[in-house]
Amino acid sequence: MKLRDRDVRKILVDKINKIHKHEPDTLIVGELGLCQGISRIDVAVINGFMHGYEIKSEKDSLERLPAQIEVYSKIFDRVTMVTCENHRNKVIEMMPQWWGLAIVNPGKKNKLYIEEIRKNKDNPSVDAFAIAQLIWRDEAIDILKTLGLEKGMLSKSRKDLWHKLSMCVPIDQLKTYVRDKIKIRARWRSADTPT
């Protein structure tokens, strides 16, 4: 029987939860929307950096992967592709060199385990505007006020606010502000929410 998304997601989320269980400053989010809904990453881990995990189970198609690669590579500090043996060679051809790769395999008594094939590296080029798009309008205004950049901006559209942030705030500082805003939001979909 072919592995489905929920099979891979369960083992992945269990592993991520174990890694970060003693880190109260870490947020694990399932199905994080990116670039105004253009794409969603399967699991995002947000702490001192943003790490995205994309799942491609045995039953999944790779048809959307090129577009997903483009979006994820604008935003995440690190990305790990979590897939199955049937997709291994194809995803290696498609994904950037800095992305990590993990393969889900059946072990003893068909208990699944994740094998790290390639360690992820730091993203060499994130996009400030795409990162700014992760925050809500009131959050963007709050950041601008904190930095004394709110003059003439309070009635502007979200797009204008994101543009201002992306142009006026150094990228590392912007990433910190965005991560902090995301982590304090009251409601999030748990990473183990079925899709």
Residues 60 and 19 in one domain: yes
pLDDT of residue 194: 42
Residues 15 and 105 in one domain: yes
Residues 48 and 137 in one domain: no
In a domain, 190, yes or no: no
In a domain, 188, yes or no: no
Helical (H) or strand (E) element with 114: strand 112-118
Main-chain dihedrals φ then ψ at residue 80, nearest 5 degrees = -125, 125
Residues 20 and 110 in one domain: yes
CATH number of the domain enclosing 89: 3.40.1350.60
d(CA 100, CA 32): 19
d(CA 152, CA 36): 24
All residue ranges of the chain with pLDDT < 50 are: 193-195
pLDDT of residue 171: 96
In a domain, 59, yes or no: yes
pLDDT of residue 106: 81
pLDDT of residue 186: 58
The domain boundary residue, chosen from 73, 93, 118? 118
In a domain, 194, yes or no: no
In a domain, 97, yes or no: yes
The domain boundary residue, chosen from 99, 118, 137? 118
Residue type, 94: M
pTM, to two decimals? 0.91
The domain boundary residue, chosen from 100, 118, 136? 118
| Residue numbers of the domain that contains 142 | 128-183
Residue type, 132: A
pLDDT of residue 193: 45
What are residue 105's DSSP bridge partners? Answer: 113
pLDDT of residue 192: 54
Q: Look-up: residue for tokens 């003893």? A: 108
Residues 33 and 73 in one domain: yes
Residues 13 and 60 in one domain: yes
Residue 36 tokens, joined: 């105004």
pLDDT of residue 109: 76
What are residue 54's DSSP bridge partners? Answer: 81
In a domain, 171, yes or no: yes
- Domain count along the chain: 2
